């Protein structure tokens, strides 16, 4: 279903139990309010909410079959009502805007075992907090590469499958084309700006021995490679760079994880470009 640009408010129970399987909003949508239970009882899947939305009422998306929810950059959301996204048993991915008021049990009954992660400002990917005020401070000792940055094409010195190739990627909303960083094509690039991040989902926990990053013509001054320690339920540093040199860089590491994140901390210019990230377990 497409909500037209001219609609400013959706009333109570507007499309409740309507058999909807998708929901999109016109690019210049003026929608400001989604009232109580407007989309309850549907099968919506992944939903990106409109920029001008300010109020999501009680139970507006309760039991709506959601799997992910995205608030666009520059959104105006102020209030998410009680049980607004409750009883969505497959909902595991959402970026909750900073400063929004959350009603009681707004995300109760999601796919995530820990309901405390659903707080304003948190970005949650597959029930893992990748950014926001509740991300624990990494405690893993900072590693440094034992080899200088390589030159030429991205070819890791160890023999092993690139576990990141064509895997699912989630990135900060102010970046473009993050999937390009894992497509195996050095001619495509992930473009980012500011303190951006990219999370690669390896599907299963795997031992990792090496991470290779191939920067484009613009590269960050500071960045960090972290991994999610599922046992400790926290992100840990594998490597932090504070004086980036660009080019192709190879970092020997030692950890096991499903999620690996590249976080950009400072730039040399207004934006940066990443051609590829490769994540390997080296074989003898």
pLDDT digits (tens, 9 = 90+) for 140-195: 443 444 344 433 344 446 778 899 999 988 887 667 888 999 999 989 999 998 78
Q: What's the CA gap between 272 and 189, in Å, rounded? A: 9
Residue 273: the pLDDT is 94
Q: How does residue 136 score in pLDDT terms, banded at 50, 70 and 90?
A: low
pTM for this entry: 0.69
Whether pLDDT at 55 is above 50: yes
- 181-207 pLDDT, tens digit per residue, is 999 998 999 999 878 888 999 989 999
CATH superfamily of 168-280: Galactose-binding domain-like (2.60.120.260)
Q: Among 67-76, 146-155, 192-201, 264-273, whose mean pLDDT is lowest? A: 146-155
Residue 152: the pLDDT is 39
Assign 3-state DSSP to the chain and report helix, strand, coil percentages, each to 5: 5, 40, 55
Whether pLDDT at 138 is above 60: no
Structure tokens at 183: 């497509």
Between 12 and 141, residue with greater pLDDT: 12
- How high does pLDDT run on average in the chain? 87
197-215 and 248-267 as β-strands: parallel, antiparallel, unpaired? antiparallel
Instruction: Give the best-scoring range by mean pLDDT among 71-80, 82-91, 266-275.
Output: 82-91
Whether pLDDT at 254 is above 60: yes
Whether pLDDT at 247 is above 50: yes
Residue 223: the pLDDT is 92
Residue 241: the pLDDT is 87
pLDDT, mean of residues 3-11: 95
pLDDT, mean of residues 256-264: 91
**What are the sequence ranges of the domains in the chain?**
1-134, 168-280
Q: Among 33-42, 130-139, 226-235, whose mean pLDDT is lowest? A: 130-139
Between 244 and 187, residue with greater pLDDT: 187
Between 145 and 280, residue with greater pLDDT: 280
Cβ-defined contacts of 67-70 (< 8 Å, 24+) = 67/91, 67/92, 67/93, 68/92, 68/93, 68/94, 69/93, 69/94, 69/95, 70/46, 70/94, 70/95, 70/173
Structure tokens at 93: 């991915």
Residue 284: the pLDDT is 52
Whether pLDDT at 132 is above 80: no
Could you give phi then psi for residue 23, rounded to 5 degrees? -150, 125
pLDDT, mean of residues 101-111: 95
């Amino acid at each position: 279903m497409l909500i037209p640009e001219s609609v400013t408010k959706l009333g109570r129970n507007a499309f409740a139990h309507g058999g909807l399987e998708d929901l999109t909003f016109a690019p210049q949508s003026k929608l400001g309010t989604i009232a109580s239970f407007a989309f309850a009882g549907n099968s919506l899947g992944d939903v990106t909410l409109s920029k001008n939305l300010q109020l999501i009422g009680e139970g507006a998306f309760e039991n709506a079959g959601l799997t992910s929810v995205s608030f666009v950059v520059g959104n105006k959301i102020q209030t998410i009502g009680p049980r607004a996204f409750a009883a969505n048993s497959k909902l595991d991915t959402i970026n909750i805007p900073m400063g929004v008021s959350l009603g009681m049990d707004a995300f109760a009954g999601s796919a995530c075992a820990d309901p405390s992660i659903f707080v304003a400002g948190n970005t949650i990917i597959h029930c893992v907090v990748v950014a926001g005020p509740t991300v624990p401070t990494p405690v893993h000792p900072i590693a440094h590469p034992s080899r200088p940055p390589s030159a030429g094409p991205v070819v890791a010195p160890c023999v092993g499958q690139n576990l990141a190739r064509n895997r699912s990627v989630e990135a900060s909303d102010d970046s473009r084309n993050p999937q390009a960083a894992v497509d195996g094509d050095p001619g495509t690039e992930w473009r980012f700006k500011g303190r951006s991040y990219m999370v690669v989902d390896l599907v299963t926990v795997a031992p990792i021995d090496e991470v290779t990053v191939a920067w484009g013509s613009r590269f960050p001054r500071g960045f960090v490679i972290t991994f999610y320690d599922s046992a400790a339920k926290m992100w840990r540093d594998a490597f932090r760079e504070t004086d980036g040199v660009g080019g192709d860089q190879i970092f020997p590491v030692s950890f096991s994880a499903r999620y690996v994140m590249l976080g950009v901390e400072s730039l040399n210019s207004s934006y940066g470009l990443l051609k590829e990230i490769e994540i390997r377990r080296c074989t003898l």
